[in-house]
Amino acid sequence: MFHCGGGHEGDSRRAGAGRTTYVRRPHALRNTRELLFVLLTAVAITELLWVIYLGWTLPRHYVANHWEVAWVGLDVAEIVMLLATAWAASRQRAVVILFSIVLATLLVVDAWFDVTTARRGAFLQSVLLAVFAEIPLAVLLLWIAWRASRRLIETHPEHCDLMVSPVPRVPLLPPEDE
């Protein structure tokens, strides 16, 4: 187990003369958080309305232009993230957390579209690939991201507030002197 020390909620950190000091800026951070909350909530509501509209109006059958480009592009993104994740893991870089989460997301998206767009003859193959390869690998990658996050916090206690604190402790604005 590890212990985190830190400032107070609403503080942002500023390094100075080899030590960390806290600058109170609760009003600015609160307004930024509120703006972000309102913006993302509005986008989610708009997206929900869009999904309802699409579900109501989309045709059951549609011939997509550039179908192969879409699938090859997704697979190329997966390859890039596989290589980036392998590199970050082999070099023990913290960015493995981000790469693992992105790759897990791509694999779940790939599994979803493989299964939902499969023709009758390929449906079983798509389900098997999703159940025995893509989804388990995505779960493994999320576990890797979680494990790497824990390890990062345990070995670098100066960053521990990123793991155990609520989002308000992550500065959203630069220090006042910048």
Domain membership of residue 177 (yes or no) is no
Do 102 and 81 form a contact (C-beta atoms < 8 A)? Answer: yes
Per-residue tens of pLDDT for the chain, all 178 residues: 444 544 444 444 544 555 555 455 555 556 777 888 888 899 999 999 999 999 999 888 888 899 899 999 999 999 999 999 999 999 989 999 999 999 999 999 999 999 999 988 899 999 999 999 999 999 999 999 999 988 888 887 766 665 555 444 444 455 555 4
Domain membership of residue 2 (yes or no) is no
For 13, phi then psi, to 5°, come to -95, 145
**What's the rounded Cα separation, in Å, for the pair 99 and 116?**
26
Give the list of residues 6+ apart from residue 1 with CB closer than 8 angstroms, or none. none
How many domains does the chain contain in total?
1
Domain membership of residue 4 (yes or no) is no
HSE on the CB side for 49, CA within 13 Å? Answer: 6
Give the relative orientation of helices 96-117 and 120-129 as an angle to the nearest 10 degrees: 160
Domain membership of residue 85 (yes or no) is yes
Task: Provide the domain limits for residue 112.
Answer: 11-169
